[in-house]
A and B are shown apart, each in its own frame.
Chain A
Amino acid sequence: MTTAAQPVARSGGRNVPTDTMGRPLTEPCILFLIVLALVTLGVLLVYSASRTADAADTTRYFPKQAYFALAGLGVFILGAIVPYHRLNRWWVAIGVLVLAVGLLVLVLFIGSGRGGARRFLNLPLGLHFQPSELAKFAVVIFLAWFYGRSKARARNFVRSFLPAIFVIGGVCWLIVKEDFGTAALVGAVAVILCLIAGWRWWFPTLILAPAAVGAYVTVWLVPYRLDRLKVWLDPWEYFTGAGWHVCQSLMALGSGGLTGVGLGAGIQKLYIPDNATDFIFAVLCEEMGILGGIMVIGLFGVFVWRAGKIVRSAPDRFAFLLASGILLVIGLQAIMNIGVVTSALPAKGIGLPLVSYGGSSLVMMCFAAGLLASIARRRDAQAAGIRPLVHVPARRG
């Protein structure tokens, strides 16, 4: 309990977050608080948004989401306790990837979902599993392992670019059929991660040609995706059709005003399809106002800041890549989701991390955030020169 005497290296005159006893909060603690805030808000909003089409069943999503939230927080702690470098094994990285790919293939055949898109695997107890959520992190873990090896030669075309692009392309191709948004996210995250790992700058240009063809095929040949682009330019033109989601979402932003109509009191939310999943940010903005929206954006900002610190001080190459990947997945997905809801980006089905309804996403995101905490713990332990698994206030750097 020698908090005051703890040397706070490098943070010198800066304000360091402290707990009630004056000790500086450890990185896992801060991450846990951010995750807790977002998940709690998510459960409340999901409850509020549950009053949708079926008036007889106003708590359709709430109990499930509450259990998912508890499970998610548990998984966060699990991820934080388990040393992340246990994942840095060839059989773990490849195993997770193969599992994800296998489930993605499976979902193409026996998947279920609304509106013709097959995104879920049915599990017992009325649960559904969305393999694309696993796939996001499977790709990140695989790439982190692949480029984290000591004999990895990232600048080599044959030994780096080809295997990586094979994996990325394969996973994206499996996802894109049912879920364009997630595929784009995975592709973007993976390519940025590869660049971080040391790809030559011109490697990504080689993908442009096939990606253009792929974009043509998926955007122009699937009619509703082209519509979505047109709708993005002027949603009101397509009010009763493809623009319905976005227009209703914008009206929700407008009805909320500065401080919102109050949690649970929204009416416009009833007009938004998928208001518990992809458009939960609109519910937030109606009920808590623009300020509530900015608050959540701020929480993601804090997350990006703290995760960025972990990336900066990651104790090894695998941790560095893993942390970058997790930061990119959560950060970019939040940006894409909020961009769609505010009509800044064309519509695509992608949830708000940690907030939207959905067990697979919530648990995976929590686990990923837990891994970040695990990295921070090892870093702090190394810095203190003490073995991990013992709580030691951090010496940063």
Chain B
Amino acid sequence: MTPEPCQRRVAAVLTVGLALLLAALAGFLVYIYAASSDALAARASRQQHMYIPIRPMRGNIVDAKLRILAGSQAIRSVFADPKVVEDVAEAATRVAPVLGLDRDEVYRTLAEASDKRFVWLKRRVPNETADAIRRLKLRGVSLATEGVRHYPNGSLAAHVFGFVGVDEQGLEGLERLFDARLRGRPGKAYVLADCRRRPIWMEPDDFTPAQDGQHLVLTIDAVIQAAAERAIAEAVRKYRAASATAIVMDPTTGAIWAMANVPTYDPARYGEFSADARRNRAVTDMFPPGSSAKPFTAAAAAEAGVVRFGEVIYCENGYWPAANLHDAGHAYGNLTFEQGIQKSSNIMMGKIGTRFGNRRLRDALVAFGFGRKTGVWLPGEAPGLVFPLARWTRLSTTRVPFGQEYMVTPLQLITAFAAFANGGRIMRPKILRGVLDNRGRVAVDLTEPQVVGRAMSEKTAREMLDRALVGVIESGTGKRCRIPGYRVFGKTGTAQKIDPDTKRISHTLYVGVFLAGVPAASPRMVVLVLVNEPDKSLGYYGGTVAAPAAKQILQQTLTYLGIPPSEPASGRRETYLAGQTVRH
């Protein structure tokens, strides 16, 4: 029947041979299933699952009225997986113009990282750029979401909160000190992923949400801070100073309402500013306090009874040869104790110093908090400098009382000055009002004031305020800080800096300081303004260069806080009713 003799044999061989091979494969399949199915499935499951981290949002830094000073938002960054990029040259050519980068630079970045799996091309790109990159659909070029700090108030209070690095790690200021709290805790999700590690399915049973960072509530008030920054910027411009610092403090609690420095910097672009501009001079820099420190030794001496209010002291008509002391500017004869403070007589302070003695002088400085850190929660605080008694000389006895031979920080100085306003207590300065957790509930409450110690009795403080410090403004060296309607108290200071070249007291480098508070009857705030190295030809006395700025800050703060004047403004009788001025 068949045309070929071998046809049946061939058909049988082919059929049986191929069928046997197929059967062998089926057997092998069964063998794989029986022998290693479980191990293979486990291994497959292992490679299909992975944990992906969930990024927490960094906490905000807000002022006392919860206005955001530093907040975080999500932003996209462009990265590449050089191993997946097929054609480096083509990728560079297409990506570079979108990112606004140089093509060769992108090429080099990709080529140098050719054996890596990850390299940033550009971080923190605007949304439009990110979308454009997505549209390119280049293999190996992808987007990642990161957090970025934003500063709605620009550089306001930048020295206080500091700045963060490119990975949102705190590098300076409160950002660094409270990095752990601000950072939050990353969560993780157990996901099923495809071979390019893209999540397909999230296992609901194994999911840890990210814990967003906590928020810092500062004692800083953005409005007062802005007033302070404006005022000292103006002072620096007007007197061509090298730098300036202002601090506003609530004397009863030690809460810092404003802490401003010039020069300042933009925390969003901190890399473009020098370390000098980024330094928080209010806590890191020391200077001899000069005349601004006279009230402290004077108060201590009055407290000890070596001098009384109203006591007349002879001021040697401007030169006291025994101690080789001059009174700058004016020659005074007889002055009462409080007049001596108001006119800022060095000779009188020197005489008080000789009555008081080195040991008690040093104890007074320590009692006012000099020579040790104030304990404010800001990084890099300097302790100031008060020599041990062994290094005091005979000259120290007449020099220390008017603020030479020791060094203070601006924060120490205003903390000590606040003692006059709060009945003699040295407060621990506060920069943090509290910490809120990520749902806005109070996590840490820091509003309770902390008293470090007592520098003088309440009576001495009140007497110094009423009899000496108010007079400084009314009739003494601080007339430029008079505010109509309010009783202001204060003290000027002009310190000669040590010339860094000659290591001797300089006659061209000055620090003008002004301390003030208002209202005298029950002080609500104290302010410090320090103008460093003003142009000597334009003025260098604290009462000249610093007092106007202090006045500006005080005035704006009084208005902002709505504190009514205690007495009618000069010559006019005015009644303040519900914020409206009604003239009689």
Contact = CB atoms under 8 A, between A and B. Distances in A.
12 contacts: A250-B32, A251-B41, A251-B43, A254-B44, A293-B29, A298-B26, A307-B15, A312-B8, A312-B11, A314-B2, A338-B22, A344-B25
Interface in A305-320: 305, 307-309, 311-317, 320
A342 B28 contact: yes
A315 B10 contact: no
A317 B4 contact: yes
Given A253-B40, A320-B10, 18 more contacts: A53-B196, A250-B32, A254-B41, A254-B44, A271-B48, A294-B26, A297-B29, A308-B18, A311-B7, A312-B11, A314-B2, A314-B3, A327-B14, A328-B14, A328-B18, A335-B22, A342-B32, A344-B24
A257 B4 contact: no
B255 to A, nearest CB: 55
Contacts of A258: 33
B32 A254 contact: yes
A252 to B, nearest CB: 7
A270 B445 CA distance: 53
A168 B47 CA distance: 45
A231 interface: no
Contacts of A108: none
A329 B28 CA distance: 22
A170 interface: no
Nearest to A251: B44
Interface string B383-403: 000000000000000000000
Nearest to A383: B1
Given A267-B200, A308-B14, A338-B25, A315 B3 contact: yes
B39 interface: yes
Given A300-B22, A308-B12, A344 B192 contact: no
B19 interface: yes
A361 interface: no
B198 A55 contact: yes
Contacts of B47: 251, 271
B322 interface: no
Interface in A344-390: 344
Nearest to B35: A254
A210 interface: no
B3 A320 contact: yes
Q: Which of A55, A253, A324 has the most CB of B within 10 A?
A: A253
Interface residues of B, number: 42
B38 interface: yes
Given A257-B37, A344-B28, A311 B44 contact: no
A251 B12 contact: no
A397 B2 CA distance: 8
A308 B25 contact: no
Contacts of A313: 1-2, 7
Contacts of A63: none
A324 B10 contact: yes
Contact of A305 (B19, B29, B40): B19
Interface of B: 1-4, 6-8, 10-12, 14-15, 18-19, 21-26, 28-30, 32-33, 36-41, 43-45, 47-48, 192, 194-196, 198, 200
A334 B200 CA distance: 33
Q: Which of B22, B28, B32, B40 has the most CB of A within 10 A?
A: B22
Interface string A277-313: 0000000010000100110011011001101110111
A196 B5 CA distance: 11
Nearest to A272: B195
Interface string A26-40: 000000000000000
Contact of B11 (A255, A257, A308, A339): A308
A41 B196 CA distance: 27
A314 B10 CA distance: 12
Contact of A314 (B7, B12, B38, B195): B7
Given A267-B192, A271-B195, A297-B29, A331 B40 contact: no
A372 to B, nearest CB: 13
B81 to A, nearest CB: 13
A376 to B, nearest CB: 13
B22 A320 contact: no
A342 B194 CA distance: 22
A88 interface: no
Contact of B194 (A252, A257, A270, A305): A270
A91 to B, nearest CB: 23
Contacts of A315: 3
Contacts of A312: 2, 7-8, 11-12
B18 A335 contact: yes
Dominant secondary structure at the B interface: helix
A328 B14 CA distance: 8
Contacts of A335: 18, 21-22, 25
Contact of B33 (A252, A257, A308): A257
Contacts of B41: 251, 254-255, 257
Interface residues of A, number: 48
Contact of A311 (B3, B11, B36, B192): B11
B99 to A, nearest CB: 23
A270 B195 contact: yes
Given A55-B198, A251-B44, A297 B22 contact: yes
A332 interface: yes
A342 B25 contact: yes
A50 interface: no
B328 to A, nearest CB: 80
Contacts of B198: 55
A297 B20 CA distance: 11
Contacts of B32: 250, 253-254, 290, 342
B486 to A, nearest CB: 70
Nearest to A335: B21
Given A268-B48, A312-B11, A297 B37 contact: no
A104 to B, nearest CB: 27
Contacts of B26: 293-294, 297-298
Contacts of A53: 195-196
Q: Which of B8, B28, B195 has the most CB of A within 10 A?
A: B195
B203 to A, nearest CB: 13
Given A253-B29, A267-B48, A268-B44, A316 B3 contact: yes
Contacts of A342: 25, 28-29, 32
Contacts of B22: 297, 300-301, 304, 331, 334-335, 338
B274 to A, nearest CB: 49
B7 A290 contact: no
Contacts of B12: 308, 312
Contacts of B36: 250, 254
Nearest to A55: B198
A290 B21 contact: no
A280 to B, nearest CB: 15
B10 A290 contact: no
B4 A320 contact: yes
A209 to B, nearest CB: 26
A155 to B, nearest CB: 13
B18 A254 contact: no
Contact of A252 (B14, B25, B38, B44): B44
B29 A285 contact: yes
B385 to A, nearest CB: 63
Interface string A258-279: 1000000001101100000000
Contacts of A338: 22, 25
A308 B195 contact: no
Contact of A254 (B4, B8, B30, B37): B37
Q: Which of B4, B23, B25, B32 has the most CB of A within 10 A?
A: B25
Contacts of B19: 301, 304-305
Given A196-B10, A267-B48, A324-B14, A254 B195 contact: no
Interface string A237-257: 000000000000011111101
Contacts of A298: 26
B33 A290 contact: yes
Contacts of B40: 250-251, 253-255
